Amino acid sequence: MTVPRRVPCKGIQRQPGGIRYVSTGLDKMTIEQLIENTEKDFMSRNLATPRLDAEVLLASFLKKDRTWLYTHPGQDVSAREMDGFSFWVARRQKGEPVAYIIGRKEFWSLDFAVDPRVLIPRPDTEVLVEEVIKVLGSGRASRPEILDLGTGSGAIAVALAHECPHARITATDISRKALAVSAGNAERHGVASRITFLEGNLLDPVMGKFDVIVSNPPYIDSGDYARLSAEVRNFEPREALLAGEQGMDFYSAIIPQAACRLKPGGWLLLEIGDSQKENLNRLFQQSDAYQDLAFRKDYAGRWRVVKAKIREEESG
């Protein structure tokens, strides 16, 4: 569609494939106008966080931060920039997660590269990192050995390497594509020399024993998976989410296997779903290999972490 150069701006032009921004008579629009128009469009599509999405997308597209947007609301955006930005908007309109569009996600105040090869790191998982740091602080190992199972983007392994400079970390994943992302994130944050990445299922590729084994495994059951948002189901890797009919498949494998790979006094820590506390309590009790079983909620009040210490008589 050709717009005469001196036709007043009407905001957004809807087209079958998405929206395109109609230029002003000067072929430009302000930051605030662009954000408001994008927000309105996202609201009309029932996206959960329309204003935030609009701001994050525009800031990233312009290679600025959101603070810059707030302090430059009247800054002009050229027609060329609006045209390029419209393609990002069109991707969000189809439900693609913002993190995949901009190619990154913050976790533990660190910037992680993400794409459809890996699950997008969630803030809830930060409490798992907090609990690992706590048990390391109370332990006896001056150079702890940590194993991260199903590392995905490498968020947990890299965050722990960043916080614990004396730790040595092994990270596994069954997906070679995911390992390429996690290895890149380790390089990105200068901790690659202290993380060993291994391809394989859970503990299969691992040798030796560890002071801490940590994992955020798949734990969504088939029923809950069908009820997840289309944004998650249509874009994030299914294999990083689904864990059988009851969501317990990976826990059932990890808990007994980890008991054979923990050093005396070592800890197993797992992210869990809010409804899985009782099932996990039974699973740990049945193993009889652990003690000091404890659960923790996240900051939204949902059960999020289970941890247990290996019984020393079982760890040899």
Above pLDDT 90, what percent of the chain? 80
Residue 142: pLDDT band with limits 50, 70, 90: confident
Q: Write down the domain spans for the chain.
A: 12-94, 107-314
Select from 38, 45, 97, 46 the least CA-distant residue to 62. Answer: 38
pLDDT for the residue numbered 19: 54
pLDDT tens for each residue of 62-88: 999 999 999 999 999 988 899 999 999
Query: How is residue 299 written in tokens?
Result: 């900051």
Residue 170 assigned to a binding site: no
CA distance 240 to 217: 7
Q: What is the pLDDT of residues 13-41, one digit of tens each?
A: 544 445 555 433 446 789 999 999 999 99
Residue 218 assigned as binding residue? yes
**Residue 292 assigned ligand-binding role:** no
Please state, rounded to an integer, the average pLDDT across all residues of the chain.
89
Segment 217-221 mean pLDDT:
93
Q: How many CB atoms lie within 10 A of CB 204?
A: 11
Residue 184 annotated as part of some ligand binding site: no
DSSP assignments along 153-186, one per residue: TSHHHHHHHHH-TT-EEEEEES-HHHHHHHHHHH
Q: What is the pLDDT of residue 24?
A: 39
Over residues 304-314, the pLDDT tens digits come to: 999 999 987 64
Q: What pLDDT, on the 0 to 100 scale, is given for residue 27?
A: 62
Q: Is 279 annotated as a binding residue?
A: no
Structure tokens of 164? Answer: 């614990």
pLDDT value at residue 20? 54
State pLDDT tens for residues 229-265.
989 999 999 999 988 888 999 999 999 999 999 999 9
Class of domain 107-314: alpha beta
Q: Measure the CA–CA gap between 205 and 199, rounded to whole angstroms.
A: 7
**Dist. CA 103–CA 60, nearest whole Å:** 9
pLDDT at 316: 45
Q: What is the pLDDT of residues 270-304, one digit of tens each?
A: 999 999 999 999 999 888 899 999 999 999 999 99
Residue 315 — very low, low, confident or very high, per pLDDT cuts 50/70/90? Answer: very low
Give the per-residue pLDDT at 117.
96
| Check whether domain 12-94 has CATH 1.10.8.10, yes or no | yes
Q: Is 150 annotated as a binding residue?
A: yes
Per DSSP, 78 falls in state E
Whether 12-94 and 107-314 share one fold: the answer is: no
Residue 9's pLDDT is: 37
151 annotated among ligand-binding-site residues: yes
DSSP symbol at 23: P
pLDDT at residue 119 above 90? yes
Is 2 assigned a ligand-binding role in the annotation?
A: no
Q: Give the length of the chain.
A: 316
SS (H, E, C) 57-102: HHHHHCCCCHHHHHHCCCCEEEHHHHHHHHHHHHHHHCCCCHHHHH
